Chain A
Amino acid sequence: MSNSLLEIENISYTYTQTEWQLRDISLRVNAGEIMGVIGPNGAGKSTLLKIAAGILKPDAGSIMLLDEPIQNLERRRIARILGYLPQNVTSLFDYRAEEVVAMGRYAHARGLGFLDHNDIAVTKRCLEQTQTMEFRDRSLSHLSGGERQRVLLASVLAQEPKILLLDEPTAGLDLHHQVRFFELLAQQVPQGLAVVVVTHDLNLASLFCDCLVLMQAGKIIHQGTADQVIQESILGTVYPGNIYIDTHPVHGQPMVLPLAKRNDIDKEGDPA
């Protein structure tokens, strides 16, 4: 058995209606690391995540989940290995936070999905881990954006997966909640969990991800540590003319700052 929990080899995928393509993607996800998938809108990050989660079937290539081809595994078995949190989860009904977290036990439960003592214990643990226990009885519509995302994370954690795939989990959250969310993820990793997170926040990716995958136009154009990927020569090709790279004064990680084409701000930042 290899070290990789998830191995993606040479996959390609075409959306038939737009003919947009994901091409020759290869990726290895290892236990105990956070992988950040970054890149501009339309780069194929979410498509890659959906393929990795077995939700879209690639036209070519292979996906091995714990050394087994994903297409040979039934959905419940996949869900016990891999947790997937899509973008913009909208619920048709106003379930309570606790009910949503307990839904994560579906793949472990039998028949109609009634919970046993172990399932209830896991649900409780995930509520505690994500600090959502205090509003377990509140319904989804009565949660703030940050609370809601933490509840959804707790639900996916309740699957007790080995790999987490998260699609822009901090989109729309304020800075405090973004950092808290990533801190929560970082706390899960030492126990051997692997996390793949799609994000547009390059700075959070730099601070929290062990490895970054940079995508553009359906291809992976660079992979490596934050220091290796967040460089002007690499990121500059993807976000041309809009970025300035510096070092985090406290953590020492590379940081990306936006550059604005405005004549009324001079170099020192004083209004002209």
Chain B
Amino acid sequence: MRGLVTRRYLILLSMAYLLLALLALLIAPFIGGETVRVRQVVHDVFHHTWNIQTEIFFYQRIPRVLLAFLVGGSLALAGSVFQVILRNPLATPYTLGVTGGGALGAVIAILTPGLSLTWGPFSSVQLTALLGAGLTLGLIYGLARRSKSISTNTLLLAGVTVGILCGALILFVRYLASPHLLVAMDHWLMGGLDIVGYRSLAALLPLLLPGAGMLFMQMGSYNLLALGEEMALGYGVDVISVQRLSLIGGGLVTAAAVSIAGPIGFVGLLVPHAIRRLSGFDHRILLPASFLAGGTLLVACDTIARTLVAPTEMPVGIITALVGGPFFIYLLFRKK
């Protein structure tokens, strides 16, 4: 037999993706507008001196690279799950309108600086974005929830419609906003990872960990679900429970990523497709590999975004779309 996916195979393959991810995580913090040398950082750590380079390394680069990794991983993970749950290869973490809701929340917070809702590690914009994303997900889930099953078609249509509605409301908010607020809104809407310190990471993890946990726990069932709900039920999958946990888990992970980094396109769409081409269709490999590769990709894109036009920087959303768009078109035409 050519081989079925065994635990050993999963571990070996995940190690390969992990190695790639570690490599990106190790190299990326040393690349950027300001040169940070390894020797300087090591020296400062051992001699308890604090050079400006070391400060940049620990308070800007490391948290930023970690955030990029976690956000990229979250989006790719959620994308791979939404594609199978919604039975649509074009589904992304944003298909359910969660991003639209998050973005609406964020622009409302930017429009009303006096609002200043802060809670724990969350800033006002992050909190309202999270609230918007959560409300959207709840609304869509409520709309699509039927007495006997969750209709994937209804979910998809409801998600797209809510996304369009949020888009219209965002335009309305922008219409009301003064020019300097418009700049801030645009900046957020382009997606970005420019954080300082570890506060944003602290805000990300409480949602990311349970959400990702829910998704990874279900990964043995997704292959069967790909053969259709009835077939999966016949195989013994508790389909409703898998769908519910996946929607909540995927929603949490997306909401966490969007509330902190804004909408970053293509990672959630392209990474799962690339992994399927490289490592097959088994979701027990697809999920961990998507998380690791999604993280790696966003770290790489963010590094480009930080260095290409240094000393300023480009929003990372532009780079991911510029890399992701052509790649996806290539995939589409290769399929034919």
A interface vs B, CB < 8 Å? 50, 53-57, 74-80, 82-86, 89-96, 98-100, 102-104, 106-107, 109, 111-115, 120, 123-124, 136-137, 156, 159
B2/A137 in contact, CB under 8 A: yes
User: How many chain-B residues does the 8 Å CB contact rule pick out?
Assistant: 32
Which residue from chain B places its CB closest to the CB of A127 in the assembled complex? B1
**Given known A-B contacts A75-B238, A96-B2, A106-B237, A111 and B226 have beta carbons under 8 A apart:** no
13 contacts between A and B (CB under 8 A): A53-B233, A75-B238, A77-B236, A79-B234, A84-B231, A89-B228, A90-B228, A98-B4, A99-B223, A106-B224, A106-B236, A107-B236, A114-B6
**Given known A-B contacts A93-B276, A94-B281, A86 and B2 have beta carbons under 8 A apart:** no
Nearest-neighbour CB distance to chain A for B243, whole angstroms, equals 13
B233/A103 in contact, CB under 8 A: no
How many angstroms from the CA of A46 to the CA of B281 in the assembled complex?
Answer: 30
**Pick the contact of B235 from A79, A91, A111, A115 — CB < 8 Å?**
A79
Residue B180 at the A interface, CB < 8 A?
A: no
B interface vs A, CB < 8 Å? 1-2, 4-7, 10, 83-84, 87, 89, 148, 219-221, 223-224, 226-228, 230-231, 233-238, 276, 281-282, 284
B235/A93 in contact, CB under 8 A: no
A103 CB contacts on chain B under 8 angstroms: 223-224, 227, 235
A86/B230 in contact, CB under 8 A: yes
What 3 A-B pairs have minimum CB-CB distances, sorted nearest first? A79-B236, A84-B234, A107-B236
Instruction: Tell me if B's interface is mostly helix, strand, loop or mixed.
Output: loop
How many angstroms from the CA of A112 to the CA of B231 in the assembled complex?
Answer: 18
B226/A75 in contact, CB under 8 A: no
A50 CB contacts on chain B under 8 angstroms: 230
**Given known A-B contacts A55-B234, A75-B236, A91 and B226 have beta carbons under 8 A apart:** yes
Which residue from chain A places its CB closest to the CB of B8 in the assembled complex? A114
B282 CB contacts on chain A under 8 angstroms: 99
Which residue from chain B places its CB closest to the CB of A108 in the assembled complex? B236
